[in-house]
Amino acid sequence: MNARRIGADLLLTARGYVRSGIGLFFSLVFPVILIALFGLIFSTGSSPPTLYVANADHNSAASEALLAALNGTGAVHVQFVEGQTAAGFSAYLGRQQDSIGLLIPSGFGDAYANGTPFNLSLYVNPGDAAAAGAAEGALEAAVNELNLAHARAVPTVGAAVYQIGGVSYSYIDYLVPGLIGFSILTSPMFAMVDVTSSYRKEGLFRQLSLTPLSRAEWLTAKILWYTLLTLVSAALMIGMGYLFFGARLQITASILPFLVLGPFLFVSLGMLAGSVAKTPESAAIIGNIITFPMMFLSGTFFPVSSFSPPLQSFAHLLPLYYIIDGLEAVMLYGNTGRAVLDLAVVAVIAVVIFLAAIVAFRWRET
Amino acid sequence: MGAAIEVHGLIKSYGTTRAVDGIEFSVPVGQVFAFLGPNGAGKTTTTEILEGLRPRTGGEVRVLGLDPWTEGARLHRRIGVIPQEFHFFEKIHPREAIEYYGALFGLRPDPRTLLERVHLTDKADAKFDTLSGGQKQKLGLALALVNNPEICFLDEPTTGLDPQARRAIWEVIQALRAEGRTVFLTTHYLEEAELLADQVAIIHRGRIIVHGPPAAIVAAHGRPDRLRFDGGPEIAAVLRRETPLSVSLRDHEVDVELGVPADARRVFAALERAGVPWERFRIERDTLEEVFVRLVGRMDDGVLKGEAAP
């Protein structure tokens, strides 16, 4: 390994990369756009969903009490709908954008006064699980209040909700490590798959084989370049998260090993994929087959804990999962033990893939 | 002077086909050697074996006394190569490319001098993908010279170039020879080989069918020189009657084969005596190209007819 040769190749790589523009866009600008986009979507304080209420039990004390209790939960915004029958209400809701609705059938007040069991009808749209959940929760709380009042009882058990670690994390806090992982994966993978297969097709590797530059030196220069890009893009994303979206992240030197090992792993993986493919076209397909599942299932946009158990097991097979998990351990929870474990997994995978890439990658034909 | 390149019984097989079938030649130091042959004859395979880009199946190869395949790293510091259809990184400028190669070889070449040598100074700071085909080849040539090579391998350096760019490359090759470097050249252009090469070898179906200085090959395998007159049957009739030479008539052109140059005197004397008017004449001599076409064609005919190849 010769530092001058690595330096010369690094300089050449940087020049080509910066001049072509497209790579720079995907490695630096695109992650920032993603942060801004997702940050804006999820950080604007969302207002409670609208609950359409059709009250067929006009002016009974019980229905007034129920609506007051519903309002009191603050989980839904009550909007009255006039002149709806039970049959027409569902259709009416179907025409609304936010389709959750409550039908209070006539006779509710009498039933409540007499203590006869009685059902209220709640209409929800399974497609909008968040609104449905809010409506069900609010109604259950309101109905409980009425039941307790009817029984003249006093609640004995209460619950106070606290968030883990004494800090409440918002989506943006998870998004920053997730998207750093996203850019660690995509920017070297897509570029290296393309470079490895097209340079071979154009005979550029054969040409380089006629110089003293070695394959390991060439690969080292690429790893250095993508590490540099990753450091810059991670700094940009953390800065964006901090400045514009109030992300609460612990910035420590422990982030760095992930920002170095990550590009090391995916530069090697990209070169491996590009080397085993016969043509640039098949290389792109192999690259996509590797990249896309990892891009979505490693905790980049959605936390892995929200997946079904089989999908979680699958996520644990993906190298990027350990990078994002480790970044979260460092940046959110300050869980050093977990971060070290993740780092060890990433290091082992990276070394294995690097060696495989060196073996599979040939300058010249045999 | 010793040999820069020595090849003995070189064989290269791909599966059951023999791309190169036991060829022999050597290139003395300081000469331009042109390696010719139709497409698929084994030219590029041989060239790549000499450059250390491909292993051989059998035979002995020494380039500057080294085995190109096992001692490639040492060899590559002493040779320069332009591969067929030279490519470089799209967004890199020629000046930067030369500095890059210099750094790889541990040298500090002056980009200006090298670009002047190949007439590319005006494009020193243009992106590679904006260069024309000729300009790209010139950069390839400049890069091949970065390490001050003892042998330059030029694989079809002028293919697809316009006549001006081709001439510029020829000048560079002649300058390389004048500096005492050895040049190994493959080309499709026979006039290029005839102009530049001290020696040529023609390879066909993996075998060398003829080898030597271009003039000697033309003398040995070309037809005799011919006098060609613009004129009709009258001239042909006189010459057939008055001389023992072979005369042919075609499209108002009369060709007389000269056994020896002095036969020309007999032709003009005969025309003078007969009082036949003639306007223009010229001497027709086979070029390397015609010899090449005939030798390769004869061999193909032989193979097609099932005869043994020479």
Enumerate the domain spans of chain A: 3-42+167-360, 50-161
Whether residue A3 is predicted with pLDDT greater than 90 in this model: the reply is: yes
β-strand B17-28 against B79-82: which pairing, if any?
unpaired
Cα A185 from Cα A188, distance rounded (Å): 6
Q: What is the pLDDT of residues A154-169, one digit of tens each?
A: 777 777 666 555 556 6
Whether residue A16 and residue B100 make contact (CB cut-off 8 A), yes or no, is no
What percentage of chain B reaches a pLDDT higher than 70?
97
Whether B10 is in a domain gets the answer yes
Across the range A94-112, mean pLDDT stands at 80
Cα A310 from Cα A306, distance rounded (Å): 12
Nearest to B104 among A20, A212, A364 (CB): A212
A203 touches B: beta carbon within 8 Å: yes
A4 touches B: beta carbon within 8 Å: yes
Nearest CA in chain B to A17: B91
Across the range B258-284, mean pLDDT stands at 85
pLDDT of residue B183: 97
Across the range B263-285, mean pLDDT stands at 85
Whether residue A140 is predicted with pLDDT greater than 90 in this model: the reply is: no
DSSP B136-184: HHHHHHHHHTTT--SEEEEESTTTT--HHHHHHHHHHHHHHHHTT-EEE
Average pLDDT of chain B? 89
Cβ atoms of B128 and B101 within 8 Å: the answer is no
Cβ atoms of B9 and B59 within 8 Å: the answer is yes
Whether residue A209 and residue B53 make contact (CB cut-off 8 A), yes or no, is yes
pLDDT of residue A45: 55
The structure tokens 């030197």 sit at A253
Cβ atoms of B182 and B27 within 8 Å: the answer is yes
Assess whether B103 and B159 both reside in one domain.
yes
Tokens coding A201: 């097709």
Whether B305 is in a domain gets the answer no
Residues belonging to chain A: 366
H-run or E-run covering B203: strand B199-204
Whether residue B104 and residue A209 make contact (CB cut-off 8 A), yes or no, is no
**CATH assignment of the domain containing B49:** 3.40.50.300
pLDDT of residue A304: 86
* DSSP-derived 3-state class of residue B36: strand
Q: What is the pLDDT of residues A28-60, one digit of tens each?
A: 888 888 888 888 877 655 567 788 888 888 778
pLDDT of residue A365: 63
Which residues in chain A have their CB less than 8 angstroms from residue B87's CB? 202-204, 207
What percentage of chain A reaches a pLDDT higher than 70?
95
pLDDT of residue B310: 42
Cβ atoms of A203 and A363 within 8 Å: the answer is no
A209 touches B: beta carbon within 8 Å: yes
Whether B62 is in a domain gets the answer yes
A334 touches B: beta carbon within 8 Å: no
Nearest to B54 among A20, A204, A365 (CB): A365
Across the range B243-260, mean pLDDT stands at 86
The structure tokens 């139709």 sit at B38
Whether residue A211 and residue B92 make contact (CB cut-off 8 A), yes or no, is no
Whether B309 is in a domain gets the answer no
Q: Which one has a higher pLDDT value, B191 or B279? A: B191
β-strand B199-204 against B32-36: which pairing, if any?
parallel
Cβ atoms of A194 and A26 within 8 Å: the answer is no
Q: Which amino acid is it at B79? A: I
Q: Which of B21, B25, B24 is nearest to B11 (CA)?
A: B21
Residue ranges making up the domain that contains B274: 223-284
ipTM of this complex:
0.82
What percentage of chain A reaches a pLDDT higher than 90?
38
β-strand A50-55 against A100-104: which pairing, if any?
parallel
Report the range of poorest mean pLDDT among A98-107, A165-174, B25-34.
Answer: A165-174
Whether B42 is in a domain gets the answer yes
Whether B209 is in a domain gets the answer yes
Assess whether B205 and B98 both reside in one domain.
yes
Whether residue A206 and residue B53 make contact (CB cut-off 8 A), yes or no, is yes
pLDDT of residue A101: 87
Whether residue A323 is predicted with pLDDT greater than 70 in this model: the reply is: yes
Assess whether B213 and B230 both reside in one domain.
no
Residue A307 has phi, psi (to 5 degrees) of: -80, 165
Size of interface A-B (CB pairs under 8 A): 69
Residue A152 burial by Cβ neighbours in a 10 Å radius (0-12, 13-18, 19+)? exposed
A207 touches B: beta carbon within 8 Å: yes
Q: Which of A67, A135, A125, A129 is nearest to A97 (CA)?
A: A125
pLDDT of residue A162: 62
Report the range of poorest mean pLDDT among A112-121, A314-323, B195-204.
Answer: A112-121
Domain boundary among B194, B220, B246: B220
Q: Which of A363, A208, A211 is nearest to B79 (CA)?
A: A211
Report the range of poorest mean pLDDT among B95-104, B167-176, B218-227.
Answer: B218-227
Whether residue A21 is predicted with pLDDT greater than 70 in this model: the reply is: yes
Cβ atoms of A241 and A175 within 8 Å: the answer is yes
Q: Which of B14, B7, B108 is nearest to B57 (CA)?
A: B14
A206 touches B: beta carbon within 8 Å: yes
CATH class of the structural domain A50-161: alpha beta
Whether residue A15 and residue B55 make contact (CB cut-off 8 A), yes or no, is no
Distances (CA, A) of A8 to A5, B28, B138: 5, 36, 22
Distances (CA, A) of A128 to A100, A286, A304: 9, 36, 21
pLDDT of residue B309: 42
Assess whether B81 and B120 both reside in one domain.
yes
Cα B75 from Cα B81, distance rounded (Å): 11
Whether residue A212 and residue B76 make contact (CB cut-off 8 A), yes or no, is yes
Nearest to A12 among B77, B87, B92 (CB): B92
Tokens coding B280: 């223009």
What is the greatest pairwise CA distance in chain A? Answer: 97
Q: What is the pLDDT of residues B21-46, one digit of tens each?
A: 999 999 999 999 999 988 888 898 99
Assess whether B143 and B188 both reside in one domain.
yes
Cβ atoms of A258 and A326 within 8 Å: the answer is yes
Nearest CA in chain A to B55: A366
Across the range B208-225, mean pLDDT stands at 88
Cβ atoms of B5 and B63 within 8 Å: the answer is yes
Whether residue B91 and residue A19 make contact (CB cut-off 8 A), yes or no, is yes
Whether residue B89 and residue A20 make contact (CB cut-off 8 A), yes or no, is no
CB-side exposure of B263: number of CA atoms within 13 Å?
18
Task: Report the C-alpha dihedral over residues A162, A168, A169, A171, rounded to 10 degrees.
Answer: 90
Whether residue B307 is predicted with pLDDT greater than 50 in this model: the reply is: no
Cα A267 from Cα A23, distance rounded (Å): 14
Whether residue B136 is predicted with pLDDT greater than 50 in this model: the reply is: yes
Average pLDDT of chain A? 86
Assess whether B152 and B207 both reside in one domain.
yes
pLDDT band for position A16 (cuts 50, 70, 90): very high
Whether residue B100 and residue A8 make contact (CB cut-off 8 A), yes or no, is yes
State how many domains chain B has.
2
Assess whether B234 and B193 both reside in one domain.
no
Whether residue A128 is predicted with pLDDT greater than 90 in this model: the reply is: no
Cα B268 from Cα B92, distance rounded (Å): 64
Distance from CA of A197 to the nearest CA of B (A): 14
Chain B interface, Cβ < 8 Å to A: 51-55, 72-73, 76-77, 79, 81, 83, 85-92, 96, 99-101, 103-106, 127
pLDDT of residue B308: 42
A144 touches B: beta carbon within 8 Å: no
Q: Which amino acid is it at B55? A: P
pLDDT of residue A161: 64
Nearest CA in chain B to A10: B100
Cβ atoms of B23 and B207 within 8 Å: the answer is yes
Assess whether B235 and B205 both reside in one domain.
no
Assess whether B198 and B263 both reside in one domain.
no
Angle of helix B133-144 relative to helix B94-105, nearest 10 degrees, comes to 20
Quickly count: other Cβ atoms within 10 Å of residue B171's Cβ.
Answer: 13
Residue B129 burial by Cβ neighbours in a 10 Å radius (0-12, 13-18, 19+)? middle
**CATH assignment of the domain containing B269:** 3.30.70.270
Quickly count: other Cβ atoms within 10 Å of residue B238's Cβ.
Answer: 21
Quickly count: other Cβ atoms within 10 Å of residue B121's Cβ.
Answer: 16
Assess whether B13 and B72 both reside in one domain.
yes
Nearest to B55 among A8, A209, A366 (CB): A366
Cβ atoms of B10 and B49 within 8 Å: the answer is yes
Distance from CA of A205 to the nearest CA of B (A): 10
Across the range A178-184, mean pLDDT stands at 93
Assess whether B89 and B29 both reside in one domain.
yes
Whether residue A212 and residue B51 make contact (CB cut-off 8 A), yes or no, is no
Whether residue B91 and residue A7 make contact (CB cut-off 8 A), yes or no, is no
pLDDT of residue B185: 95
pLDDT of residue A167: 57
Most confident range (mean pLDDT) of A120-124, B58-62, B214-218 is B58-62
Distance from CA of A366 to the nearest CA of B (A): 6
First to last CA, chain A: 24
Q: Which one has a higher pLDDT value, A149 or B31? A: B31
Cβ atoms of B207 and B7 within 8 Å: the answer is no
Cα A122 from Cα A72, distance rounded (Å): 18
pLDDT of residue B244: 87
pLDDT of residue B306: 45
Interface residue of B77, B91, B155 to substitute, partner A, most A CBs within 10 Å: B91
Tokens coding B197: 């090469």
Whether B302 is in a domain gets the answer no
Tokens coding A98: 């936010």
Assess whether B23 and B162 both reside in one domain.
yes
Whether residue A210 and residue B53 make contact (CB cut-off 8 A), yes or no, is yes
